[in-house]
Structure 1
Amino acid sequence: MAESALTGRRAAIALRHQTGGPSHDPDPPPIPADRRCRALLASPLPAQQAPAVIRFPREWLPTDVAINPGLTPGVIHVDTANTWLYLTLADGLARRYKIAVGAAGRNFRGQAHVGRKAEWPPWRPTANMIRLEPEVYGPFAAGLPGGHPLNPLGARALYLHQGRRDTMYRIHGTPQPWTIGQSFSSGCIRLVNEHAIDLYDRVPLGTAVHVR
């Protein structure tokens, strides 16, 4: 995958395997977990303050797992409670991805389909995001171009539609890999950039999405 997929002001962010949960190098001191996303959105972090290494347990890496063989292949199922996304395959298998989901009360629920796909998409906060958190999103009201280190959509985005209507929810990458496994976002479903690219390449337009 492209090295630029994990952005961070030249901070070397790499994925490594271990059996525990996500951890960060102790030097320099990490930003508290509940403030990392907002701190990065509010102002660029100097390289020496950005987490140098993000470590994920092996089971968080994309992998094929056994599922109910009765499920239709080619459908995305999102388990927000346990922060997993499944893309059903043939022969009773699914491709599983670890995700971050919306904070309490902000998650999308229900059925949709992939109405649009974009590589390194531009981003603009919604009016509702600015209304709820003007100090965080107000400075970005004009939007950010694709590939910008503060653009929260990351490397790829799948736009969720219901009929012809854009739900304003996305399945997308993130420049903030330390948020994976948490209920953190404004409602969208986030993956590590490399994982978002892997999913993007497997999903055609029109793919059904079930979120619970």
Structure 2
Amino acid sequence: MLTRRAFLAAGSAATLSACAPAPLPDQTPITPVAPPALPDFYGAVTTEPFPVPAVPEGVVEPRLWRQFVPNPFPQDAPGTLVVDPGAGYLFLIGDDGQALRYGAGTGAAAFAWSGTARVQFTRAWPVWKAPDSMIERRPEFAPYSVANGGMPGGPGNPLGARALYLFQDGQDTLYRIHGACEPKYLGRAVSSGCIRLLDQDAIDIAARVPHGATVRVLPATAPAGIGLY
């Protein structure tokens, strides 16, 4: 027989049960997954005339690491360089169905010219000469003008450890593939420059590509807001 007292006790118990917190889920801590370690070839370079610091861990996406990939341009002969400014990649075509792909930072100049050129020459720790058009916009670069001999190679030089100079029909395109890309800008469009590689990659590609190599630069549309500084 259900008495009034038993009924109230049962109701109170039900109310307390309904208000009790639900059992907590498994509280096993989640161990964060460490980013993959950078390849050793992105370590510090100590065999150059100037020090090349190691690329910091966790800054450069693995897709932008130097790596062999299936050749996306089988129509191009082995040894050809293909620049894709829009994707932020530079490909060195191989002869085995593969290409060596480098991540690249692209500046406004990288979107201003496209076509076929050749590597006229390569320079290690090149002198950077500010063009007159840049000096008009940035007078502080006047000490590094062509007339003044430019900025000597070394740390802080915008061309970095290596530069490949591209010519077309015997004329300088003013288009360069060079080092000095800050790791945080790799694969991104930034305000100036042509195709910028990590210095480790610029050193690597300069050793692989002979003078006279064909370079094909794909057309690309610059992102909104990008412009020469």
Q: Which residues of 2 match residues 63-74 of structure 1 at below 5 A? A: 63-68=67-72, 69-74=74-79
TM-score by length of 1: 0.71
Native 8 Å contact 2:84 2:217 kept in 1:
yes
Aligned positions, number: 170
Rounded to whole Å, the distance in 2 between the matches of 1:195 and 1:102 is: 17
> Residues 189, 94 of structure 1: CA spacing in aligned structure 2 closer, same or farther, 3 A cutoff?
same
Residues 160 and 197 of structure 1: is their aligned pair in 2 closer, same or farther, counting only changes over 3 Å? same
How has the CA–CA distance of structure 1 residues 14 and 76 changed in structure 2, closer, same or farther, with 3 Å as cutoff? same
Please provide the CA RMSD for this pair: 2.5
Q: Sort the Cα spacing of 1:99 and 1:4 in 2 relative to 1 into closer, same or farther, 3 A.
A: farther
Paired residue for 1:161? 167
Assess, with a 3 A threshold, how the Cα gap between structure 1 residues 104 and 202 changes in structure 2: closer, same or farther.
closer
**Deviation for aligned residue 1:193:** 0.2
Identity score, percent: 39
Structure 2 counterpart of 1:182:
188
1:79 and 2:84 are equivalent in the alignment: yes
**C-alpha offsets along residues 66-112 of structure 1, whole Å, 9 cap, x if unaligned?**
02444321100011111000000011100000001122785321111
1:178: Cα distance to partner?
2.9
**2:45 equivalent in structure 1:** 2
- Looking at structure 1, the residues matched to 91 and 172 of structure 2 have their Cα atoms a distance apart, in angstroms, of 22
TM-score by length of 2: 0.66
Decide which structure has the larger Cα Rg and report it: 2
Which position in structure 1 is the counterpart of 2:55? 15
Does residue 102 (structure 1) correspond to residue 125 (structure 2)? The answer is no
Which runs of 5 or more residues in structure 1 are unaligned?
19-54
SS of equivalent residue, structure 2 residue 128: coil
Find the partner of 1:90 among 95, 98, 102.
95
Structure 2 stretches lacking a partner, 5+ long? 1-43, 219-229
